[in-house]
Amino acid sequence: MDQPVTSHSSTRTARTLVRGGAVVGAVAFLIVVWSVFSAHRASAKLKEATEAQSVVTVATTAPQPQSDLTELILPGNLQANYEAPIYARTSGYLKRWLVDIGTPVKAGQLLGEIESPEVNSQLNQAQADLATAAANQKIANVTAERWRNLRASDSVSKQEADEKISLAASNDAQVQAAKANVQRLRELTSFQKIVAPFDGIVTARNTDIGQLIVAGSNTGPELFRVADMRRLRLYVRVPQTYAALMKPGITADLVFPDRPGKIYSASLDSTSSAIDQASRTLLAQLSVENKNNELLPGAYSEVHFKMPVGAANASFKLPANVLLFRGDGMKVATVGASGQVVMKEVTVGRDYGSDIEIVQGLTADDKVILSPPDSLTDGVNVRVAAPTGQVAKS
């Protein structure tokens, strides 16, 4: 009777063990599945984090259009309408000077005198040579006339008569040469008087009484300098971007550091009609009225042009830190509609210091990247940072 009970108990024990093994197997399977799932999810998160870290976050700004009239401010240099350095035309010693710097003078007015004893001696010698040549000419002409008469009566040979006539002609030439030499030395003596070439003001005196004077412009500084300041010329170098707008008659306002609060007017006379290859600028010449002699030649001026801004030459203002200097030109980085970088080549106009003017290459709808990294290239995905006070959308 005991054996059936034992057999039934063994059967139940076996079933329990099978069930336990199934449970353990199921648990182990779940653990394996969970481990694989966790590893896959961790890998996906790592990949997502890596990709997120590789996307550069950038700040952008919009180009600010300039107004319909933009002010172009350029440096300019004033020059006298006429200005002449005066050098000596004869050598000697300065005998006296009659005008000093700042003195108004008239054309032909005596500025100083040079004492030239050597030139005076040469003139006296030349005059004596002229008198000798004239005396020789007189006797040669008388002799030639006599020999012509003798030749007419066949009293002398033709050869002898020709020699006398030729000698007279030679003496005539010597007289002309002596006269030319005397005239030259007289002109040199006239240069002992230094005179003003035109009405103006003496702006320099670089000589004094008793100073040795050597003729010529390559032997030292000028003796005097005279400038006509009733009308001044102003020279400005205009960037190539605005060269086409420089037409005769355009006006500009002038501001001088030594004349605070005062504004002077100038009008464009002409341009060089050529772009300087070194600076890529156009040289412009303006005229300035200066009847009261308030403005001084050589002065620095700020030249303010009012330039029209139209569709053909629309410009934008941006921070200077948007520029990228690349081997193929100057560029700025923008963010396209798909969030990728789009490089645009631009032309820079004026430099305001912290800001710059972009005259070509951008539109008002562009999103320009501020302080772009040097490694940024076309087609790279970027994330635009939210403006200050806003939260970026996920």
Tell which residue, 239, 193, 209, has the closest CA to residue 90. 193
Interatomic CA distance for residues 316 and 126, integer angstroms: 77
Q: 317 and 246, same structural domain?
A: no
Q: 325 and 296, same structural domain?
A: no
Residue matched to tokens 């002449």: 84
Tokens for 371? Answer: 């302080």
The CA distances from residue 185 to 283, 338, 387, in Å, are 44, 89, 87
Tokens for 14? Answer: 């076996």
Q: What is the pLDDT of residue 213?
A: 87
Q: 183 and 116, same structural domain?
A: yes
Strand pairing partners for 340? Answer: 381
**Total tally of structural domains belonging to the chain:** 3
Tokens for 252? Answer: 């500009």
The per-residue DSSP string of 361-388 comes to: S--TT--EESS--TT--TT-BEEEPPPT
Interatomic CA distance for residues 125 and 185, integer angstroms: 10
Read off the CATH number of the domain in which 375 is found.
2.40.420.20
Q: 327 and 300, same structural domain?
A: no
Tell which residue, 79, 20, 32, has the closest CA to residue 298. 79
Contact 281, 239 (CB under 8 A): yes
Interatomic CA distance for residues 173 and 170, integer angstroms: 5
Contact 223, 205 (CB under 8 A): yes
Q: 168 and 110, same structural domain?
A: yes
Q: 336 and 280, same structural domain?
A: no
The CA distances from residue 374 to 157, 190, 306, 371, in Å, are 105, 73, 37, 9
The contacts of residue 282 (CB under 8 Å, 6+ apart) are 237, 238, 239, 240, 243, 246, 271, 272, 274, 275, 276
Strand pairing partners for 58? Answer: 384
Q: Is 42 domain-assigned? A: no
Interatomic CA distance for residues 50 and 233, integer angstroms: 66
Q: Is 288 domain-assigned? A: yes
Contact 384, 340 (CB under 8 A): no
Domain boundary among the residues 148, 173, 195 is at 195
The contacts of residue 251 (CB under 8 Å, 6+ apart) are 265, 266, 267, 268
Strand pairing partners for 253? Answer: 265, 304
pTM for this entry: 0.56
Q: What is the pLDDT of residue 43?
A: 66
Interatomic CA distance for residues 275 and 291, integer angstroms: 33
Q: 129 and 188, same structural domain?
A: yes
Q: What is the pLDDT of residue 199?
A: 93
Q: What is the pLDDT of residue 361?
A: 84
Q: What is the pLDDT of residue 233?
A: 95
Q: What is the pLDDT of residue 311?
A: 40
Q: Is 111 domain-assigned? A: yes
Interatomic CA distance for residues 242 and 347, integer angstroms: 12
The separation between CA 93 and the C-alpha centre of its own chain, rounded to angstroms, equals: 43
The 3-state DSSP class for residue 296 equals coil
Strand pairing partners for 313? Answer: none
Interatomic CA distance for residues 95 and 114, integer angstroms: 5
Domain containing 366 equals: 57-67+313-384
How many Cα neighbours within 13 Å face the side chain of 75? Answer: 5
Q: Is 185 domain-assigned? A: yes
Q: 179 and 102, same structural domain?
A: yes
Which stretches in the chain have pLDDT values below 70?
Answer: 1-15, 17-18, 20-21, 39-40, 42-54, 67-69, 308-314, 387-394
Q: What is the pLDDT of residue 303?
A: 94
Q: Is 226 domain-assigned? A: no
Q: What is the pLDDT of residue 53?
A: 54
